[in-house]
Copies of this chain bind each other. A is one copy, B any other.
Amino acid sequence: MADQRRDVLETFDNQFPDRDYKIEIVCPEFTSVCPKTGQPDFGVLILTYTPDRKCVELKSLKLYLHTFRNDGIFYENVTNTILDDLVAELAPRRMQLRAEFSARGGITTTVTVDHLRDG
Contacts and interface: CB of A to CB of B under 8 A. Distances in A.
A62 B21 contact: no
9 contacts: A16-B77, A16-B113, A19-B114, A21-B80, A21-B112, A21-B114, A23-B112, A26-B109, A28-B106
A89 to B, nearest CB: 17
Interface in A33-77: 39-40, 42, 51, 55, 58-59, 61-62, 66, 69-70, 76-77
Interface residues of A, number: 44
B105 A15 contact: no
Contacts of A11: none
A59 to B, nearest CB: 6
